[in-house]
Chain A
Amino acid sequence: MTELALELIGVNKAYKHFQLRNLNLELPKGQIMGLIGANGAGKSTCMRILMGLVHQDSGVVRVMGHEMPSQQVQAKQEIGFLSEDMRLYGQSNLRWHMDFIASIFPSWDDLYAQNLCDIFDLNTDQAVKGFSHGQRVKAGLVLALARRPKLLILDEPTTGLDAVARYEVLTELMEVIRDEENTILFSSHNTYDVEKLSDTICFIDQGQLVASNDKERFLDQWRRIRIKLPQGTDLPDSIQVVNIKGSGQERSIITNSFSPDLVSNWTQAGLEVIEIEHLSLEEIFIAAVQKSRRLKEEVCV
């Protein structure tokens, strides 16, 4: 069995107005996992639990084999963390920050740090309060990456970046996994980034894991199938349908368990399949979230 970089088993955390419910998640070493969710879906809470900053009410959390939160010191020695709400000390420059982090991490690679500063075009002598948002994110990334972490946990690393900065940041992230042991968990509401980079994808909504799968399977199994429904016929009852749209004879159906067999079953049931289309991750995300919310409402009613 492959070693796990992180593992959550039945994790619960209740706040006044928000609840993380029965979260189960596994990420093998060497992979990139993308966490997608709307604002307030629970992505940040999940990451804070992984960092030991918030203690779960119940459930097991292991990060790089260390129990959280009790072994957070050992775990955090191997983690590079960057969150959207992280700021540096405004009156100090980046060099000062780099020296500070270096004083705490024996693994700090100063050559790599300087190299990154060159690539990102960051002035290490300028007080960071003069940095733009993009420069701030890049500076944070330098501080996280030059620790040479085995695990990167990045909360919304690309949010608010211009196209060029985003490209530079993502390129450096990919460089990290050149070492097959290195693992990345990142959250984003930009589904395009996640679709491109991730090996595994998780959808979180309203504090629950809505769907989780390896990306290729996600993109394979979620399809839009356009069919012609002869007048008077009903759709056969099928749980594989996530979403149906259309009127008259044409229907467009989203399924989460596409296979050639599914199509031949439908054809035998008298449906005419016109077209089978791939979906973007964004379309899959929206359909999955809507389905999960529908199911919840049904349970409530």
Chain B
Amino acid sequence: MTHATVLQLAKKDWDLWRNIVFLYAIGSIIGLVVLAYPSELAFYSGSVLMITALVASGIHLIMVSVINERKLKTLPLIMSLPITVKDYTSSKMLVNLLMFTVVWVAVVAGTIIVTLSRETIPNGLITIIVILTLEIFIAYCLILAVAMITESEGWTIATMVMCNLFLNLFLFMTAKIPAIGNHLTDSTAVWSPEALRLIAVELLMVAIILFATYYRQSKKTDFM
């Protein structure tokens, strides 16, 4: 019974917010077109555009689907349905991850395809592209977790700011790791043990954050 309800709730959010998903997916495709243009300036502005679209899509989706549910008082309607806080959490995590993943996959796959197909862009960049976009995925999960657990706009925005500041630091530090930074201009992607370890840690963090959120939510006694 409840599984079906969780899916219905997720479908409801997808119906409501899928246009935002498509909008950002289109935004990132425009970024790709710019990226593919054979000039260094185009490459950098294209990358910035895509990273911005990716980060912004996550923030936008969390705001409308999680924070606004409480702020705009649609939560009482949802919680009057035969569901528990756990079900609510499951549906929100499910639909948000799905929506963000659509944009994320569009960005990552598009970037890799462009990088592979363009002679001017070194394929060695692919490693750091994966590492970087995974970091953005972690940041997204963290913001989602904070939004779900605190249900506070303030805390969510604070986390977003911290995550965006950290993104630059992370990029800088990752490029400083010789096993990764020294291969950026190589003609093929180099998957050094350091790079693979970093990717594994990133994936682990995603899992930990999602699990912790789910666990914390199931302990909630006051939901409204």
Contact = CB atoms under 8 A, between A and B. Distances in A.
Whether A and B touch (Cβ < 8 Å) is answered with yes
Interface of A: 48, 51-55, 69, 72-77, 79-83, 85-92, 96, 100-101, 103-105, 140, 143-144
B79 to A, nearest CB: 5
A250 B87 CA distance: 64
Contact of B12 (A52, A87, A100, A144): A100
B77 to A, nearest CB: 5
B72 A87 contact: yes
A245 B163 CA distance: 67
Interface of B: 1-2, 5, 8-9, 11-12, 15-16, 72-74, 76-77, 79-84, 87, 221-224
15 contacts: A51-B79, A53-B224, A54-B222, A72-B84, A73-B2, A73-B82, A77-B82, A86-B73, A89-B16, A89-B74, A91-B16, A101-B81, A103-B8, A104-B8, A143-B77
A53 B82 contact: no
Contacts of A88: 74, 77
B222 A81 contact: no
A96 B14 CA distance: 13
Contacts, number: 70
A143 B1 CA distance: 20
Contacts of B77: 86-88, 140, 143
Given A55-B221, A73-B82, A90 B72 contact: yes
B81 A104 contact: yes
Contact of A76 (B72, B80, B221, B224): B80
A85 B2 CA distance: 26
B73 A104 contact: no
B1 A53 contact: no
Interface hub of B2, B83, B222 (most chain A Cβ within 10 A): B222
